[in-house]
A and B are shown apart, each in its own frame.
Chain A
Amino acid sequence: DGGITQSPKYLFRKEGQNVTLSCEQNLNHDAMYWYRQDPGQGLRLIYYSQIVNDFQKGDIAEGYSVSREKKESFPLTVTSAQKNPTAFYLCASSIAGANYGYTFGSGTRLTVV
């Protein structure tokens, strides 16, 4: 079955360390997105990519970096510059440039101690 795989489900890191969250999809979707979810807030867009080797900043990109070397993969690195990295991170994908639905991953809960 096609879908999005996020790994790991839970991640613990020490303050000051960079950490990379994985997102892989086998849906042949062009567009991929990273969102952050904090308690009591709606999902906020970190980065998105509509085509391989191209990506754009979302609303809260500071302290994060991404790459899109393959259509299937859109890893997110949470750098030490991100002031409040502890959050729930969701990856999503869709067919770009058209009014199609989105498929979401199961998320990664990152805790920085």
Chain B
Amino acid sequence: KNEVEQSPQNLTAQEGEFITINCSYSVGISALHWLQQHPGGGIVSLFMLSSGKKKHGRLIATINIQEKHSSLHITASHPRDSAVYICAVRETSGSRLTFGEGTQLTVNP
């Protein structure tokens, strides 16, 4: 079992829909990251969370430390949101990141 599990693996939505991507982890963490990877391959850091909720534009990230679960929400989705979204955790025992396998999101016009 992976230490970081994401669901769903693939998600197709229509433009304007509200989207949720989930991340569960099994280790103690000091922070959780949400990353975005576009088809060209480069990765952009969206959020770093250690508690609560963060919002940036149409993106919202939440984390529940007790339940070891985080969600990434996209409101009013747009085709340009199409990308792979990756959850990664930084364990309390070290400085390394452990990554989920990613969620491929496709938003159709």
Q: Which A residues contact B (CB, under 8 angstroms)?
A: 31, 33, 35, 37, 40-45, 48, 50, 58, 88, 90, 92, 94, 96-97, 99-107, 109
Contacts and interface: CB of A to CB of B under 8 A. Distances in A.
B7 interface: no
Closest 3 CB pairs of A and B: A106-B42, A42-B99, A104-B43
Contacts, number: 60
The B contact surface, by secondary structure, is strand
A48 B99 contact: no
Contacts of B2: 42
Nearest to B99: A42
A23 to B, nearest CB: 13
A43 B99 contact: yes
Interface of B: 2, 4, 30-31, 33, 35, 40-45, 48, 50, 86, 88, 90, 95-102
20 contacts: A33-B96, A33-B97, A35-B99, A42-B102, A43-B86, A43-B88, A43-B97, A45-B96, A48-B96, A58-B96, A88-B41, A90-B43, A99-B31, A99-B50, A102-B33, A102-B45, A104-B42, A104-B43, A104-B45, A106-B40
